[in-house]
Amino acid sequence: MSAFDRVIGYEKEKEQLLQLCDIAKNPQKYAALGVRLPRGVLLHGEPGVGKTLMATAFVEETGRKRYFCRKDRPGDEFVNYIGSLFSEAKKNAPSVVLLDDLDKYISDHFMENSEELIAVQSGIDCVRDSDVFIIATANKINGFPETLLRPGRFDRVLEIGLPDRRQSVEIVRYYLSDKKVAADVKAEDVARLMDGYSCAALEAVLNEAGIYAGYERKTLIERDHLVRAVLRNIFSAEENTNKMSKEEKEEVAFHEAGHAAVALSYDPEIVGLISLRSCRGEMRGVVQILRNTSGIRTYAQMHKSVVSLLAGKAAVEIKYGRIDVGASSDIERASGIVEQMITKHVTSGFGLYCMEQMRGNGILSGEQNDKIVVERSAMIARCYEEAKELLRNHWAFVEKLAAELAERETLLYEEIQTLFKESESNR
């Protein structure tokens, strides 16, 4: 049994680490080919994706003596500890040094001049001629000095991304294996609800659902418990909508139905959940848009995102003939995307292109800034008109979806799909 069996999914990443383990355990075989074990590997990615689990599995798989380092002491004391750790690893080679959460070592605001990173570089150089392998984890590496990331220190730098949908299903299935769940709780459904979130987030949601079940003295974790846990943990949604009047609930239902209807008109399978529960302190609900599985963001996708964001406001205007004053966050997000399209992706020509640093430092000329504002406003206005046109074309569906939402408060993927397909067949 491999230590990597504890790591669910991530087959490509595990394969790369297993290659290095094989070299560590069979150096003579590779020496005959003139190959040596690389100096080190750095795993980086968002918190909770399993970097430390992979790193510890790697250390265990090599069978070497391990030296573990995580920042747990102040400045100079920690710098001295790093040096002594590498010295011990060198004395007891073959060995592995595991530098966990490397980006948290820094106490200096200027990362490249950090005493801690200088100590790490010196330590790696100190064991250069010894059989010491370095494996490190970090959430962010964009501020690391190039001298640390270069071959000879970290020969491989692997990004550990969020699990894809197939991996999420495997992870959910693994976590559900030791829990008592109702027959209608399917790993595929839970993974869709958790689309785009880490392994740690998946585990936390499943545990939260178990807390709900236990508090209600249920013998099984039910589907509703999982939905409530997702809404609370992932979307920071409130437990109920009782503070809304019937009229307010209806208006929010049309707002959220507008978002969902336009998104579904572009991609019939893109909406995972709709709820009227207020999200992150706003008096609006939530529409979960499932991830683009290709990982590539195109102009068309950005454009569709903007139109979908504006569709909540447009739906309220069409239904009630008045301005929706609860759409400020949608407009802000849409404006941000449009501005990126104009200034970064030159959708309106190179004349309005500018680097992010120029915008952030306020060094654009007044004339260029004015042109960007005018073009941004015009593009948002066009997208808003497109949203209204799409809503009018699918208005029967908007009405049906809003009515279901107002009555049931939360709709899941299968329920949304049923309503959408019925509506499309009746058009």
Which two structure tokens, joined as six digits, stand for 282? 């706003």
For residues 17 and 148, give the distance between their C-alpha atoms in angstroms, rounded to a whole number: 20
Distance CA 119, CA 139 (A): 20
Strands 156-159 and 40-44: parallel
Q: What is the DSSP string of 363-426?
A: -S-HHHHHHHHHHHHHHHHHHHHHHHHHHHHTHHHHHHHHHHHHHHSEEEHHHHHHHHHHHHHT
> What does the alpha-carbon distance between residue 269 and residue 275 come to, in Å, rounded to a whole number?
17
pLDDT at 145: 86
Cα–chain-centroid distance for residue 51? 15
Q: Are 69 and 18 in contact (CB under 8 A)?
A: no
Q: What is the predicted pLDDT for the residue at 225?
A: 94
Does residue 280 carry a pLDDT above 70?
Answer: no
Q: How far apart are CA 96 and CA 90, in angstroms?
A: 9
Q: Per residue in 60-118, pLDDT tens?
A: 999 999 999 999 888 789 999 999 999 999 999 999 999 999 999 876 555 556 888 88
pTM for the predicted model, two decimal places: 0.82
pLDDT bracket for residue 425 (50, 70, 90)? confident
Query: Which amino acid appears at position 300 of this protein?
Result: A
Distance CA 167, CA 164 (A): 5
- Structural domains for the chain: 3-159 (3.40.50.300), 165-233 (1.10.8.60), 246-425 (1.20.58.760)
In the predicted structure, residue 357 carries a pLDDT above the cut 80: no
- The tokens for 119 are 């100590």
Residues near 263 by beta carbon (within 8 Å), at least 6 away in sequence: 270, 271, 287, 289, 304, 308, 311
In the chain, the largest separation of any two C-alpha atoms, in whole Å, equals 79
Can you tell me the mean pLDDT for 331-347?
Answer: 90
- Whether pLDDT at 269 is above 70: yes
For the chain, how many residues are written? Answer: 427
Return d(Cα 262, Cα 58) in angstroms, integer: 46
The C-alpha atoms of residue 240 and residue 274 are separated, in whole angstroms, by 14
Residue 333 pLDDT > 90: yes
Q: What is the pLDDT of residues 114-147, one digit of tens each?
A: 888 889 999 999 998 899 999 999 999 988 888 8
CA gyration radius for the chain?
26
